[in-house]
Amino acid sequence: MVINVHAGHNPDGKTACGAVGIIKESTEARKVKDKVVSKLKSLGHTVYDCTCEDGASQTDVLNKIVAKCNRHTADLDVSIHFNAGANDKAGNGTTTGTEVLVYSSTSGSNNYANKIVKAVSATGFKNRGVKVRNDLYYLKKVKAPALLVECCFVDDRDDVKLYDAEKMAEAIVYGITGKKAEVKDTASSGTVYKVQVGAYSKKENAETMQKKLKLAGFDAVVVKA
């Protein structure tokens, strides 16, 4: 699949940043977004990060996000947000929960939205369901089937206690792909670290070392450099 992913709003500290509660929406949405991007890539999907880091205003942020999204022909467009308005800073023992927004009840993204909200709520958040919102600029303007994940509430102590960026990203990716992605630390940069034990000008010498390593229980491969 080709998938656009972005975190909502400007970064925290800038104009038009997201909601601030016990945790900050812009910051957490970016953490989840980075993990979603690397997990989707590790599963073999083509992913474009359409996050805006330098909007001059709320309108500018939205325009820039939509422009980035529409530069690619995508199968799905995913926006990562956190909700606010629970006003439960002390914690009442119950999460306010997770929801996924779509433009209409016939949007091509509905199936994914349902699966995402199910996967996130399976990690313990109250399932607020899939909601139709035809008033949101992003959902209205992007060409690909689009959805907006409101991961959980930034101002509910119970949501914040349960929330973990890694698990949240895992659930979102599972909702999209039906698969769990194992991701190395460096996956977002695409860097791979190799362990080397020797470099040989003669292939047979390399192969001798490979045999020694294999006998010692190491899974060694010979590569040309």
Contact status, residue 77 vs residue 145, Cβ threshold 8 Å: yes
Q: Out of 4, 5, 18, 88, point to the residue binding Zn ion (CB under 5 A).
A: 18
At 39, which helix (H) or strand (E)? helix 25-42
Q: Which is nearer to Zn ion, 18 or 145 (CB)?
A: 18
Measured at CB, which residue is nearest to Zn ion?
A: 81
Task: Name the one range near Zn ion by CB under 5 A: 13-21, 33-41, 64-72, 125-133.
Answer: 13-21
Calculate the dihedral angle through the C-alpha atoms of 179, 6, 112, 94, rounding to the nearest 10 degrees: 90
At 109, which helix (H) or strand (E)? none
Instruction: Please count the other Cβ atoms lying within 10 Å of the Cβ belonging to residue 103.
Output: 23
The answer to the question of residue 21 lying near Zn ion (CB under 5 A) is no
Task: Name the one range near Zn ion by CB under 5 A: 16-24, 105-113, 121-129, 139-147.
Answer: 16-24
Q: Out of 81, 115, 128, 157, point to the residue binding Zn ion (CB under 5 A).
A: 81
Rounded CA separation 144/141 (Å): 9
Please give the structure tokens belonging to residue 115.
């699966």
The answer to the question of residue 8 lying near Zn ion (CB under 5 A) is yes
The answer to the question of residue 97 lying near Zn ion (CB under 5 A) is no
**Which residues make up the interface to Zn ion (CB under 5 A)?**
8, 18, 81
